[in-house]
Structure 1
Amino acid sequence: MSFYRNAVWFVKGLNEYTKSGYLSASKRFDPADLDVNISNRSFMITGANSGLGRSAALTIAKKGATVHMVCRNKERGEAAQEELKQESGNQNIHLHLVDMSKPRDVIRFSETFKSEGQPLNVLINNAGILVNEDKRQVTEDGLESTFATNTLGTHLLTIHLLPVLEQAEDPRVVIVTSGGMLLQKLDLSDLQFEKMSKFDGAMAYSQTKRQQVVMTAQYAKTYPKVHFSCPHPGWSSTPGVQSSLPDFYERFQNKLRSEEAGADTIVWLAISPAATKQLSGLFFQDRKPVPIHLPLAWTKSNSGDDEKLMTKLQEFAESFNK
């Protein structure tokens, strides 16, 4: 089964997720979709100092919007902030230092942002990690780091900023996932990957990415004032891919998408009027909604499990609110 799943994944990926797949898909794109005045809108992007987050931040900043960069590392964040200001000609780019793997940091930042009365139209949850080791890593809070960053951090930032977003015009939340989630069925029995006989960082990453897709659909049901979406950026050449998947990068680097191509649908979902004509809560690839359980139908979870995930996340959230 493992061989079959990987074979399906790589065949599909080589056809769709590489730069040739993007070039093919982009022939149907309407350039007018991104010809939008967003100079009066505010965007928050996690992981904005490199890779897809930086590319999305640059495109949005060039259009004159206010950009809030959420980054973990002070030195890299400040360097990226200055570069973005210079490259975009936009000085309205703000840096916030937040470790998305630390729930209390995320909550504290969100509450401070709300108390300052700053507007926010769009939240782009882009930050994520893939542990390239066979040993489970635990944060100072006792959380497995992949789950803490990709799932719980995303959830906490989203729910704590929703009151701000719901007051904005045309509010949106974009949660950047991965096609790797197509290989995973939602598993509530081991959210922190404690039961693995041997920790598998790529599997843990893919499971959290499946969780993000479920979360997106559930948010859409619960918060109808906000448009939620979950894009898969394809296989892109980013610093994260190079460091976390060195063998994959070495083998496929000539086929990988550019950061700009990988970020295209992220930006489209964040700014285009065409994006919100689609239903809230969908999974997107190259500017169009796609199924979340193909080609492997066994990955489909039931609605009860999807709702249980949200209940478990709420329990985590309440434990760190105390």
Structure 2
Amino acid sequence: MLTPEEPTGNLFSKYFGDDPIDKKKNRKERRVSTSVDNQRQRKTSSQTVRVYRGPGDPESLETNVFEPAHAENNKFHIDPENPGVVLIINQEYFYTETMKQYKKLLPDKSDQLEQRVGTEKDRMRLINTFKKFRFKLIVEDNIKHVDMIRVIRKTVASVRKESSLFICILSHGDKGFVYGANSCKVSVDDIQDMMCKAHLVSKPKVLILQSCQGLQCINVSCQNDDRDQAETVATDGPIKLPYTANLLTFWATVPGYAAIRNKEKGSWFIQSLCEKMESCQDRLHFLDICTRTSRDVSDKRWNKGPDEYRMCSEIRHTFLQDFFLPKMTL
């Protein structure tokens, strides 16, 4: 059970109602010395160059050279023993909140949000994938919007020795919002703000959203691609990104459109992301993994009567360094 951690300021009133609560530089002329020669030799060994002396020449060769010493500064330091914390919020069942103070947070339409059949597949796939990378896991199911706020704040505050933070939200959503189990909205902007605390400024933070950003589906002409039939598919239904360092937000779909979820296999987006993480591991940085996921998702098709639909994921980030996952355990 969560220990409530009361938000302050505008966030409290928005979601909880009105209740109170050098190295000095060497400037001398060039010197001729063994140490300088050694330094130059190390500096020139910073790339791989091919020396070519003509076709069929057996003396053609490759010279191996090391990466520059500063290359490590281009990567986040990830402790393989404490790579990060992952919070998974999985919303499958929904009801309509009856408290008057939360009425303004309910969907515009009076229809109750439907059960998200198939989300359990995504939940388990995320758990199994992040376990392989030795991440610390926190999983919450079917929680109200106020509990979403509390658990996000508590998780963010708990990240100390860990090298990164992931928050994965599987829910219904709309433009700029995701829903709690009580059908109350939580702003994605506010979630991003909660993730960007001073003690995490130099650490990679990733927000993954399997939810709609609208009601439309992208209609495409028929092609021979990876397709899902209408009876096995459902949808999870423009966000301003505040300036924050080292934050990546990966949406299942672009603003104005629905996110497609296979009721039997899980969502295209989460299943593809986990597959790419496991297959690429530490060979690609996470932004490239997201790009490959987006391409894979965009190749899929959903047949619905005479029409065919597709998805296009969206990536926004303020990463200042490359984020490589640790090697995966077997």
Tell me the TM-score normalised to structure 1 length.
0.38
- Rg comparison, structure with higher value: 2
Structure that is richer in helix per residue: 1
Tell me the TM-score normalised to structure 2 length.
0.38
Structure that is richer in strand per residue: 2
